[in-house]
Amino acid sequence: MLTPELAALTASAAALGFFHTLLGPDHYLPFIVMARAKKWTIARTALITSLCGIGHIGSSMLLGFIGIGIGLGAARIEAFDSFRSDIASWGLIAFGLVYFAYGVKTSWKKRPHEHSHVHADGSVHIHRHAHVEEHAHVHGKEADITPWVLFTLLVLGPCEPLIPLFMYPAVQESIAGLVWVTAAFGGVTIAAMTGAVTLAMLGFDLVSVKPLERFAHALAGITIFACGIAVQFFGI
């Protein structure tokens, strides 16, 4: 039975899930910039974001269920969540830096330059091109590990408010209440992540960013690096 207390807790969980997601740039910015750099479709980006969101919520839910099941206090769970948060944020920082270096290398190779060709009649033809675009060959489909990296970092990253603010109070009502409140927080969080990313992708389709395409990978790397900094040092 949904008591007034449980209804209020559920509404609060849903609301905080929404605002917690939008105020945490690590929940959506990495997906947006990687999708642009990798040229993922909107459908693929939404799927990757949703699966990463499930992993993100699922890891916190599992930890909360285990903590409640074996009688751990909320303070001990919060301490472990803080440790997980450090790993995830430093992982974002490291991944961002590595990907930024890759992006700089790629943009340098893609820089346009000119060659002159002298024809038999003495006329000179200037040919402008970029080597990567002209001479790249496909040697089989390479596996893209980026979604797995993002998934791992999101699984390691905790949903800080979920366990102490909602799971522990909800279990005082009932096990069904615990499941209901957790599902509300998790469902809204995943929907907000996927919605924010999808809307941003649709917005980018309306704006011409062709001059910046050469720097897409570098911009993705520095954005992910900034997300990690924001989480680790500013608690965003």
User: Does the residue 133 lie in any domain?
Assistant: no
User: Does the residue 195 lie in any domain?
Assistant: yes
In the chain (236 residues long), the average pLDDT of successive 10-residue segments reads 86 96 95 95 97 96 93 89 95 97 87 53 53 43 83 94 92 90 96 97 81 88 96 89
User: Does the residue 178 lie in any domain?
Assistant: yes
User: Does the residue 8 lie in any domain?
Assistant: yes
User: Does the residue 134 lie in any domain?
Assistant: no
Distance CA 186, CA 38 (A): 28
Which residues span the domain enclosing 230?
Answer: 4-111+143-234
Distance CA 77, CA 86 (A): 14
User: Does the residue 118 lie in any domain?
Assistant: no
- The pLDDT of residue 205: 81
Buried b (16+ CB within 10 A) or exposed e, 154-190: bbbbbbbbbbbbbbbbbbebeeebbebbbebbbebbb
Domain count, the chain: 1
- The pLDDT of residue 235: 85
Report field, pTM of the whole predicted structure over 0.75: yes
